[in-house]
Amino acid sequence: MDADEARIAKVFGTKKVPEVSKKTLLRYRSYLLQQFDRKMVLTGREDFPWEEKYVIGPGSRSEYEKLKKTNPSYTDEYELIDIAEGEVKENDLLARVKRLSDNKNFEIGLSWLTTKEEKGKDYQLLDDFATWAVNW
């Protein structure tokens, strides 16, 4: 078992990393809410699904800039409001966030988010969660 797997298994108090399911996601949610510093600044781990055609595809730059005003972007900075209780979408938890530039609220898959600072406890917590949500 590598270090990532050991940290993830510790969340569940098990020797093996469990599969992603609604039950295990909600258990992970409880753990994260106990551990997170709610003042952390979040941003996107990579371009969000709606942005792909603009970031790596043929989408228009001007259209992208217009859409970023009403949609969350991986380049934005967010504050965590909460992680939706009982809601799971595509084997992911839904993070309720507030965009810092205009105070607009969004729901974004938690595995799509990371901390602005690429170090520290909250960065590791989100990185471990994303690793688990994507790979198990």
Q: What digits encode the pLDDT tens for the residues 4-42?
A: 888 999 899 888 999 999 899 999 999 999 998 877 899
CA atoms within 13 A on the CB side of 82: 5
> Is residue 108 one of the residues assigned to a domain?
yes
> Is residue 62 one of the residues assigned to a domain?
no
> Is residue 65 one of the residues assigned to a domain?
no
- Cα–Cα distance between 109 and 95 in angstroms, integer? 6
Compute the average pLDDT of residues 108-116.
94
Positive or negative: CA dihedral 21, 14, 35, 41: negative
> Is residue 96 one of the residues assigned to a domain?
yes
Q: Report in angstroms the alpha-carbon separations of 4 from 22, 89, 100, 110.
A: 21, 24, 31, 18
Name which residue leads in pLDDT, 64 or 118: 64
Tally of structural domains, the chain: 1
Positive or negative: CA dihedral 103, 39, 87, 22: positive
119: containing domain = 3-48+76-135
Q: What percent of the chain stands above pLDDT 90?
A: 62
Residue 23, judged by CB atoms within 10 A of its CB (0-12, 13-18, 19+), counts as exposed
